[in-house]
Amino acid sequence: MNKDQKNEVIELLKSKFSQYSNFYITNTESLTVEQVNSLRRVCFDKNVEMKVAKNTLIKKALESLDAEKYAGVYDALNGVTALMFSDSPKEPAVIISSFRKDNKKTEKPELKAAFVGDEIYTGDAQLANLVKIKTKNELIGDVIGLLQSPAKRVIAGLLEKAKKEGAGEAVAPAAE
């Protein structure tokens, strides 16, 4: 790879890191070609971009954007590295977890690090935590549910009171 090709890859990576606020650094080293193609297909279906690049080029791209911001992921840049870019903070984690379940003979892809929002998660042990992260839409749904809950209780109470009063009036005229 000549210098121009390397600069082209660095620019491509810089644009991806700027475009997405979430990215995962994974190790796909022992996966077969068939498994990698399957993983790419799942990523494509779930709107997750998967890119494979040299660690030195990834590091140069990150350093040129903000060396301090991404410093926590530099140690993860070793071995075979596949990057997963997503708008969703948890979708790559869900993909990795389900891929492992479907391919029981492998512990790959292995999570080396994840940059979610402005937080850095390092190590494969963090995968379970990343799967539990709520997306923006899930959080909005939770807030709306919490806001609706008291109103629903008040309305239900008023309806119940109206039913009781309505039933009492119907009985009273018949007794006269």
Q: At what angle do helices 3-19 and 55-66 cross, to 10 degrees?
A: 60
Q: Which tens digit of pLDDT belongs to each residue from 131-169?
A: 988 777 777 887 887 787 787 787 888 888 888 887 655
Q: pTM score, two decimals?
A: 0.77
Query: Which CATH number does 3-133 carry?
Result: 3.30.70.1730
Bridge pairing between strands 110-116 and 22-27:
antiparallel
Amino acid at 82: A
Q: Which tens digit of pLDDT belongs to each residue from 39-86?
A: 999 999 999 999 999 999 999 999 999 989 999 999 999 999 999 999
* Pick from 151, 152, 134: nearest CA to 142: 134
The CA distance from 36 to 136, in Å, is 29
